[in-house]
Amino acid sequence: MKAHEEKMGGSVAADISKEESQAESFGHGTVKPDDEDVAPVAGQLKRRLGNRQIQLIAIGGSIGTATFVSIGTGLLNAGPGGLLLAYALHSSMVSMVNNCMAEMAVFMPISGAFIRMAGHWVDPAFGFLAGWNFFLYEAINIPFEVSAINVVLSFWRDDIPAAAVVAVCTALYFAINVFAVKWYGESEFWLATGKVVLILIVFSFTFVTMVGGNPQHDAYGFRYWRDPGAFAEYIASGNLGRFEGFLSALWNASFTIVGPEYVSMLAGETKLPRRYLKNAFKTTYFRFTFFFVGSALCVGIVIPYNDPTFVSILNDPNGNSGSATASPYIIAMQNMGIDVLPHIITALLITSIFSCGNAFTFYATRSLYGLALESQAPAFLRRCTPSGVPIYCLAVTMIFPCLAFLNVSGSTARVLSWFINLVTTSGVLNYTIIATTYIFFYRATRAQGVDRATLPYYGYGQPYCAWIALVYMALIVFVNGYAVFLPGHWDVKDFFTHYTMVLVSPVLFVGWKLVHRTRLVRPAEADLVWEKPAIDAYERENEEDNPGFWREMLQLVGWRKAKSMQSN
């Protein structure tokens, strides 16, 4: 780490000499060296997330309902080949976004992450847009996950009160997030572990059954790639229909494949951010290939896209398309006459969905807090509890799970679909924001003579990765709802669910820009020092306290602690 600091060039290097005088001040807060469990961070957040927590949150934080249930819609519309191609393409594009986010977040691991970076390195109005878009994306995802829990529970019983499910989930989300961040980290560590176990189970199920390990002893292999075929027709027929199926699967992938934005939002509360986040971002590439592309491959193996039960459930107007019975894996198990495993999958799926809602509560709270730090949200939202929880931000966020009460009187599937369409557009917009912010960051490093090779994380292939990702994500944003423009397919509701955030985003940007008369940040004037001196000082003071992932795992079960006590 010190080697990186000594090599830093340009205006950044010139300002590092101020480090000692600035290190005691960290953004809006102060350094508290006497608190060995709490590290300084902008505002009043606390750095309490350890290595094992960061790594498991990074691995399992993005695995949710879509990976096991909603992915079936992509299979239905595109077929196994179209689904696999779509997931592989989108994974590669999000990997490019990860390349951008990793370099910025490891260099400047601040609370609010890319939200505040967008305001400091692009335009304050752009930061305003980034923050509110991300907050809405996270906050609206909470009732989506709560609704998903409700419909998955219907696998066992149809008479479970939806209001009770919403109330219990809301109370649990508040209870977990109202205490110190380390408790959130601990809960997500175990919940993410459950997600990994779940995905390993369905992958193992796929392999074992395809080679003949099923009650019928049928080694079906890639049979369904031949009959009914690798590509399904969607809307139109022929090659055009197969291409439209591929586009539908791309849209499905854009809701399923996420990750770099979540890792970055942990930066302000990570004990040793530059070391732990760097490793977490690196595992993201593996996650995309193994979890998401692997899932697309597996669902296309275990069930044909024209399976009668599968088709009827996904096209069911009564609201079963979001239930556990819509999972391609569970349908495949039932088709094979496997009785117990579907119940195990459903139980683990509920914990997985709950984990996603818990994570969205955390990220929505932190994004709103980041907006407050930049004076783009009411100042009272900066208030934190002594344990470092932005309590008023949490209170505002907890309003959103209550939207799930809509399920009490309406069709669950209809409400769920509305949430999916609305927040997916916001999610893809987040990636256009990250790519744009990186392009401005890259220009600033060149203008100020900073050698990017000396940064803690060096993103290869830049700025080409950023430009490719930006163009691709922009195309996804605009074509996701193309079907409403086809003859005979116009629907006002579908238009607004697909394009609401596309229409709202320019209003947010232009409105803030006109009211506050902001301007684009010139490359030579971008603040690349910012909170770096205090972060550098903190990491130097704590560089010896750097247990590896497996050492922390051993400490978790008491092995290292016991060994240390014996040696003393």
- CATH number, residue 519: 1.20.1740.10
Give 510-551 as a DSSP string. HHHHHHHT--PPPGGG--SSTTHHHHHHHHHHTTT----HHH
**Percentage with pLDDT > 70 across the chain:** 83
Show the domain range for 287: 66-534
pLDDT in tens, 142-157: 988 888 888 888 888 8
Give domain status of residue 20, yes or no. no
Residue type, 13: A
As for how many domains the chain has, the answer is: 1
| pLDDT for residue 169 is more than 80 | yes
C-alpha to C-alpha distance for 37 and 48, rounded to whole angstroms: 7
Give domain status of residue 163, yes or no. yes
**Percentage with pLDDT > 90 across the chain:** 52
Give domain status of residue 405, yes or no. yes
Average confidence score pLDDT of the chain: 84
Rounded mean pLDDT, 120-128: 96
C-alpha to C-alpha distance for 349 and 340, rounded to whole angstroms: 14
Position with higher pLDDT, 324 vs 400: 400
Give domain status of residue 558, yes or no. no
| pLDDT for residue 74 is more than 70 | yes
Give domain status of residue 297, yes or no. yes
The pLDDT value recorded for residue 289 is 87
| pLDDT for residue 11 is more than 50 | no
Position with higher pLDDT, 182 vs 422: 182
State the residue for tokens 């075929």. 229
Helix (H, G, I), strand (E, B) or coil at 30: strand
Per-residue confidence band for 322, with pLDDT thresholds at 50, 70 and 90: low
The pLDDT value recorded for residue 488 is 85
Give domain status of residue 402, yes or no. yes
Per-residue confidence band for 369, with pLDDT thresholds at 50, 70 and 90: very high
Give 369-430 as a DSSP string. HHHHHTTSS-GGGG---TTS--HHHHHHHTTGGGGGGGGGTS-HHHHHHHHHHHHHHHHHHH
| pLDDT for residue 2 is more than 50 | no
Give domain status of residue 194, yes or no. yes
The pLDDT value recorded for residue 3 is 41
Give domain status of residue 449, yes or no. yes
Give the range among 191-200, 389-398, 554-563 with minimum mean pLDDT: 554-563
pLDDT in tens, 25-39: 333 333 333 333 433
Do β-strands 29-30 and 25-26 pair in parallel, antiparallel, or remain unpaired? antiparallel
Taking alpha carbons only, the member of 402, 417, 459, 403 closest to residue 435 is: 459
